[in-house]
Structure 1
Amino acid sequence: MKKVSKLALTTLVSTSLLAGCAGGQATDSNGAAAGGASTDKAKVTIWHNWTGQDAKGIAMRKIIEDFKAQHPEIELEAEGLPTDGLKTRLRTVAAADEMPDLFVMWPDAMTKEFVSGKLLQPVNEFLDSKPEWKNNFIPNALDGYTVDGNIYSVPMNLAPSSFIYYNQAIFDKYNVKAPKTWDELKAAIDTFNKNNVIPMALGNKANWVAQSTIFSTIADRVTGTDWFLKASAQNGAKFTDPEFIKALTVLQDLGKSKAFQDGFNGIDENQMMQLYFQGKAAMFMDGGWAAANLVNNAPKEVLDTTHIAILPAIDGGKGEAQSTAGVVGTGLGVSKKLTGANKAAAMELFYALSGPEGQKATLDSSTLVSYKIDVDKSKANPLFVELNELMKNVKISPVYDSKLSSAAVEVINNGLQDLLMGGSPESVAKKVQDAQAGALGK
């Protein structure tokens, strides 16, 4: 970070700590009276999900560590949690109104819930002070963080959630082509099963995985986006409608065809990736973020033969074929309670992580961004260049957990685990419908 930035922050922090003087006494940012100028450091807490050894996680943790080193006047406490654990913990502390100062959050449904609960403060003024940054996001990038005209965060990445990653060497060995139709996908699954190769590795222990990386795209292929948005709003469509039952059935049929290895509900994403890294699986489905994991951790012989495709169209479906589920990406929420010197320090960290330098660090970590910045093809891994080029012609449709209520998300995540073990599509559909209708009071 530039020295002038550090100087400006130090001045801001010092001014904030001395603000509110009355009767010759200074009050610190927590309101405690002190005899003269306060010597307390500004304090900032941040919760994030950059816990893995993927390039993105490493890059973001480095920004945090660099920030600590460059700002000894700030006491920074950072805590990392896996994605599912972070979501659960945020909702737990939200109920008690005990949010950390900064925290990774998701656009749309989560943002709206936290705004409704009066847990966030807008960042409009901060954004407006840096127009060259604010105006460089891709079109509609801020929509998922905007509520009633107020902007509550900015995306730190672009998160298409559903791609097929496949090992070309395994495909060539068994004379299988990358599937461009649903029938070709089913034929590939059959061929790999006959040759004792896992067709598609799946780690659905954290039950959001199947919903986010597979089902959201399948469902959009079948129902179309408009139907889903109406069902989510409980306005003109219901999750008990025939098209949603069909979408559930398509996923269940994948399970019945043994597309996934035995025990997929009992292993996590890391174990799923290991099956692919070890050459035991021909494919896996995951978001754009998986590219950073592959680039950083896959054996060279696997990485060099890995390619990326979107899920094929589904016969009779109403959705856009050249699309994938996803969101603009996670952002940093700012606690409503944050004020004074602590807020000044927190916003400087906010900018370090999601400003131009943070966006570049994210892109350099083989992670897509919602920000106008070009990939350096001479330096980027070929797999990430392939992903970046693919996204130029792929639309993003809503991922289910970005639009549904928290209650309905939990129901569908658990329901898909049950569905893949033989549960009834109609039963899952009714539970999702009841949960979403109940959450919206309809």
Structure 2
Amino acid sequence: MTINHPWSNRSCLLLLLLSVCLLTPGCTPFTFPAQQPVTGGDGSDGKEKITLTVWHDWMGQDSTSATMRSLLDRFQRENPQVELRAQPIIRDVYRSRLKTMASAGELPDVFLIWPDSMTREFVRGGLIQPIDDLLKSQPEWVAGFMPHSFDSFTVDEHKYSVPMSMAPTSFVFYNKAIFDRYDVSVPETWDELMEAVRKFNRNGVTPIALGNKSSWVAQSAIFSTLADRVTGTDWFLNVVAQNEARFTDPTFVNALTRMQQLAKAHAFQENFNYIDHIQMEQLYYRKQAAMLIEGGSVVSNMIAQAPKDVLEATHITLLPDVPGGKGRPMSTSGVVGTGFAVNSQLQGAQREAAFKLIYALAAPEAQRKILNSNTLVSYRLDVDRSVAHPLFVELHQLVNKVTLLPAYETQLTTAAVEALSQGIQELLKGGSPEELAKKLQDTQANVLGKFR
């Protein structure tokens, strides 16, 4: 999940000018009727129809995307006075397109936004407005979220979105039948992982399917957790803030070297930088790869698309610890999921409709539907085992045992995320870990210097 296209110089200047602005919304209070469902009128009261442009990335045929589109459709039916002009955008280009529209001052009314760095940068640019009034009007709903669910959408004590899911970004999905066939143990240490890679290669099986054409996959699904295994979380938080830590430190160069070690050992198929994450999943489904490293969201895709025998043989584990590393055991990178943000220009009836839409897609009933679609949520709900697939139950149980680590893609500045993602593409082809570390250090430091 990263930006795929560089901005023009003009766009960069526009964003920089936006970034030094403070967000000062002059919003009117927003309230829902007490204990009433959030529904609109029937459009027969003579009021002018409200139009909302909405951007999202729910284009897939998986159950999660289908569920979210159905929630949008339901909102439209129950609020005929609001016309939703929804535009689904392919995940690989969503963030870059959103950034382009932000720099041009042409953002949609309501749009998916990522937590942490992306939220902070949009707030600094004066592009989105707080949803505090919405949250204050529904205290029981807010109390149902897990602790810290709103932290990553909070800037200067104001909240800017509501998580509609939970997004751990790095799990190892493995086909136990393939492991058993070649007498390979599920790796619990780095050395065991490298031995598994060697055994699968000897038997003509790709150890780990990888589709890094769009560059975010290797960075998001593998490196974020692998780097923490080496550096530990405290170092990462310090380097994000450029506080007595630098990406040129030996510990980070070691993390990059470990990532490169996987490629040099032929852990991935040869064309890993030329296929996307969908093609990557297909390699696993066709039993051409023994493992797949992806976020928890891939489970809904597997349930919808994987052959029955592959699905039944698939289990989930974590990336192994690295010798001498400072990372926390039983952990994986991740964040609360994406949420809808509201354009800072929205006022009056449009703003009220936007808040209703956010509630409709993140209310308790919606959270239950999302959970039942085999997607993790940040809301306090138990899995209904009569509905959930066994693989999702396994995922849910594992998530309850692990610690979520800060994810590189949401903590770094967006320019640094792009530099890291594209740099890892080069690193896996033999590029220099030291050169990538220096480029990342320069990028993060320069951007923070502009924002300070």
Looking at structure 1, the residues matched to 183 and 74 of structure 2 have their Cα atoms a distance apart, in angstroms, of 49
Q: What CA distance in whole angstroms lies between the structure 2 residues aligned with 1:340 and 1:299?
A: 50
TM-score of the pair, normalised by structure 1? 0.92
Q: Provide the residue aligned with 2:313 in structure 1.
A: 305
Match of residue 156, structure 1, among 156, 164, 167: 164
Asked whether 1:97 is paired with 2:128, we answer no
- Pick from 323, 326, 330: which aligns with 2:334? 326
Distance 2:362 2:112 in 1: 11
Match of residue 119, structure 1, among 117, 127, 135: 127
Letter in 2 for 1:308: I
Amino acid in the other structure paired with 1:149: E
The TM-score with structure 2 as length reference comes to 0.90
1:235 aligns with 2:243: yes
Conserved 8 A contact 2:169-2:296: yes
How far apart, CA to CA, are the structure 2 residues paired with 1:137 and 1:72? Answer: 29
| Aligned counterpart for 2:194 among listed residues 186, 190, 213 | 186
Q: Residue 57 of structure 1: SS of its match in structure 2?
A: helix
* 1:288 Cα deviation after fit: 0.5
The number of residues matched between the two structures is 417
State the shift of 1:83 in Å: 2.2
Once the two structures are TM-superposed, the CA of residue 320 in structure 1 deviates from its matched residue by: 0.5
Tell me how far apart the structure 2 counterparts of residues 86 and 228 of structure 1 sit (CA, whole Å): 27
- Name 2:48's counterpart in structure 1: 40
Q: Which amino acid aligns with 2:41?
A: T
Counterpart code for 2:382? D
Alpha-carbon distance, 1:97 to partner? 2.1
Q: Distance in 2 between matches of 1:97 and 1:323?
A: 39
| 1:18 paired residue number | none
Aligned AA for 1:167?
A: N
Report the equivalent of 1:217: 225
Question: In the alignment, which residue of structure 2 is the partner of 1:23?
Answer: none
How far, CA to CA, are the matches of 1:328 and 1:396 in structure 2?
9
1:108-155: CA deviation from partner (whole Å, max 9, x where unpaired)? 000000000011111111111111111111111100000111010111
Match of 2:13 in 1: none
Q: Quick one: distance in 2 between partners of 1:87 and 1:159?
A: 16
Report the counterpart of residue 383 of structure 2 in structure 1: 375
2:17 corresponds in structure 1 to: none
Distance 2:125 2:368 in 1: 33
How far, CA to CA, are the matches of 1:85 and 1:159 in structure 2?
Answer: 19
Query: Secondary structure at 1:110's aligned position in 2?
Result: helix
Q: Distance in 1 between matches of 2:192 and 2:37?
A: 55
Instruction: Name the residue aligned to 1:250.
Output: 258
Q: What amino acid is aligned across from residue 293 of structure 2 in structure 1?
A: M
Task: Say if 2:40 and 2:80, in contact at 8 Å, map to a contact too.
Answer: no
Q: How does 1:279-318 map to 2 (within 5 A)?
A: 279-318=287-326
- Rounded to whole Å, the distance in 1 between the matches of 2:216 and 2:81 is 40
2:206 pairs with 1:175: no
Which residue matches 2:63? 55
For the pair 1:165 / 2:196, whether they are aligned, the reply is no
Contact 1:9/1:344 (CA < 8 Å) preserved in 2?
no
Indicate if the aligned counterparts of 1:327 and 1:396 stay in contact, CA closer than 8 A. yes
Aligned to 1:349: 357
For 1:294 and 1:84, the matched residues in 2 are separated by 19
Matching of residues 357-436 of structure 1 within 5 Å: 357-436=365-444
- Bigger radius of gyration: 1
Unaligned runs of at least 5 residues, structure 2: 1-35
Q: Secondary structure at the match of 1:376?
A: coil
Matched-pair contact (CA < 8 Å) for 1:14–1:341:
no
Distance 2:393 2:83 in 1: 38
Q: SS state of the match for residue 103, structure 1?
A: strand
| Matching of residue 10 in structure 1 with residue 44 in structure 2 | no
Helix, strand or coil at the partner of 1:308: strand
SS in 2 for 1:304: helix
Mapped to 1, the partners of 2:69 and 2:387 lie a distance apart of 21
| In structure 1, distance between residues paired with 2:423 and 2:259 | 12
The alpha-carbon distance between structure 1 residues 134 and 126, as it changes in their structure 2 partners (threshold 3 A), is same
Is 1:277 equivalent to 2:285 in the alignment?
Answer: yes
SS state of the match for residue 199, structure 1? strand
1:76-113 deviations in whole A, cap 9, x for unaligned? Answer: 11111122311001111111222111111110000000
Moved more, 417-426 or 86-95: 86-95
Amino acid at match of 1:10: G
- CA RMSD between the two structures: 1.7
Shift of 1:14: 9.1
What is the alpha-carbon distance in structure 1 between the residues aligned to residue 223 and residue 293 of structure 2? 10
Q: Report the more deviating stretch, 295-304 or 342-351.
A: 342-351
Residue 141 of structure 2 is aligned to residue 110 of structure 1: no
* % identical aligned pairs: 52
Question: Gaps spanning 5+ residues in structure 1: where?
Answer: 16-36
Tell me how far apart the structure 1 counterparts of residues 184 and 390 of structure 2 sit (CA, whole Å). 22
Equivalents in 2 of 1:299, 1:67: separation in Å? 34
2:216 is aligned, of 201, 204, 208, to 208
- Mapped partners of 2:222, 2:327: distance in 1: 15
| Residues in 2 aligned to 1:155 and 1:186: alpha-carbon distance in whole angstroms | 37
